[in-house]
Structure 1
Amino acid sequence: MWIVVGLGNPGTRYATTRHNVGALALKRAAASWSIPLRQAGARMVGEGSIGSNRVLLAGPLGWMNESGPPLRALLNDYQISPDRLIVIHDDLDMEFGRLRLRRAGGSGGHNGLKSILQSLGTPEFCRLKIGIGRPAPGQDSADYVLEPFSDEETERLPDILDRAIRAVECVVAEGIEAAMNRFNPLASEA
């Protein structure tokens, strides 16, 4: 079984903010894969399949910066190893709409990932980064990530989320290497 987590903050106030693009991707994936999400404590979860592969979808797990402990508990509850985990999250160091898969690594300054790395005790899990772009000069990064998408970004968002869904499907069906080769290059995003 794979677990696919879309990072975000809970509540309607944050639902359409840049920081919640991981949670938005998860909701779109759940609809695309016909996996109903249900409330389970501080998170939404759903079980189903991508092709012949079983998956558990989860997100948000509480406040973004405290994602690690509830994610560790979820992995323990379902007895899933971190190497079967895909975390979808925002990345403000990448241009808006760019996707990048990584097999492992550090947090890149992302506090949600810092919490996950600390709680799991390993960097060995798949991340799907979705670029949200940089704030304007002089704008605070924390304010920027908690703003709603611009009208132009909102218009482009469905296509970006659909590409993210295809990237997750590729990881699950063909492995991380195949997915990285297909979705990381800029040419694949044209």
Structure 2
Amino acid sequence: MKCIVGLGNPGKKYEDTRHNVGFMMIDELVGRHNWSLDKKKFNGLYAMEHYQSDKVILLKPQTYMNLSGESIRPLMDFYNIDLEDVLIIYDDLDLPTGKIRLRQKGGHGGHNGVRSAIDHLGTKEFKRIRIGIGRPTSPIPVVDYVLGSFPKEEHEAVGSSIKLAADACEAWLNTPFIDVMNEYNN
């Protein structure tokens, strides 16, 4: 069984913000396959579905970003999901809007949701897809920037990166992650 986690903040207030591209990517997969996030447990909303012959869990932690690990770890423990079968998707200020980057491990880079995941998983060695949101071009506090919405001129690029990240997730469900990285990091 594999687990795909999209990081974000719950609630209408945060729905279309830069910090929620992880949630948006989960929504993309749900929409593609007519799945539903109909389970509430482990401080999260999740779906347990089948993709081809494999079981997959999609998780949107409802703990708010900074406590994401409090949802991920209990779900993994309950379903006996190995760390190698977890993929976490989140926003990244250091990538331009519209770009994605896949990694097998890494630090938190100042991202509090990833920091929480590292703390609760006890390691930096988990698969991830970073979706670029770019850095602010004006002097705006980072917290206001990530909790702000994308301007209209970025909607197409953001939509494309979310779709590309969803494609990479689907590929990972039956392809070694290193091969998926080689394909989608180009």
In the superposition, the TM-score normalised over structure 1's length comes to 0.93
Q: Using the alignment, how far apart are the partners of 1:96 and 1:155 within structure 2?
A: 10
Q: Does the 8 A contact of 1:19 with 1:90 survive in 2?
A: yes
1:134-168, CA deviations, whole angstroms, 9 ceiling, x for partnerless residues?
A: 01242111110000111112233332221111111
Q: Does the 8 A contact of 1:170 with 1:178 survive in 2?
A: no
2:30 maps to 1:30: yes
SS in 2 for 1:13: helix
Name the structure 1 match of 2:144.
143
Q: Does the 8 A contact of 1:33 with 1:49 survive in 2?
A: no
Q: What percent identity do the matched residue pairs reach? A: 38
- 1:75 positional shift: 0.6
- 1:180 positional shift: 0.7
How many residues are treated as equivalent by the alignment?
Answer: 185
- 1:39 positional shift: 4.5
Name the structure 1 match of 2:58.
57
1:29-68, CA deviations, whole angstroms, 9 ceiling, x for partnerless residues?
A: 1111222111504421101122222100010331100111
Please list, as runs of the form range in 1=range in 2, the aligned pairs for 1:159-178 lying within 5 A after superposition: 159-178=160-179
Q: Using the alignment, how far apart are the partners of 2:136 and 2:77 within structure 1?
A: 37
1:81-119, CA deviations, whole angstroms, 9 ceiling, x for partnerless residues?
A: 111100010000000011101111111111100011011
Structure 2 runs not aligned, ≥5 long: none
2:94 maps to 1:118: no
Q: Which amino acid aligns with 2:30?
A: A
Name the structure 2 match of 1:7.
7
SS in 1 for 2:136: coil
Q: Does the 8 A contact of 1:6 with 1:22 survive in 2?
A: yes
Q: Using the alignment, how far apart are the partners of 1:173 and 1:21 within structure 2?
A: 24
Q: Does the 8 A contact of 1:135 with 1:144 survive in 2?
A: yes
Q: Using the alignment, how far apart are the partners of 1:61 and 1:127 within structure 2?
A: 19
Q: Which amino acid aligns with 2:38?
A: R
SS in 1 for 2:9: coil
Cα RMSD after superposing both structures:
1.2
- 1:170 positional shift: 1.5
SS in 2 for 1:54: strand
Q: Using the alignment, how far apart are the partners of 1:179 and 1:46 within structure 2?
A: 23
2:85 maps to 1:84: yes
Q: Using the alignment, how far apart are the partners of 2:103 and 2:24 within structure 1?
A: 20
SS in 1 for 2:12: coil
Q: Using the alignment, how far apart are the partners of 1:156 and 1:106 within structure 2?
A: 26
Structure 1 runs not aligned, ≥5 long: 186-190
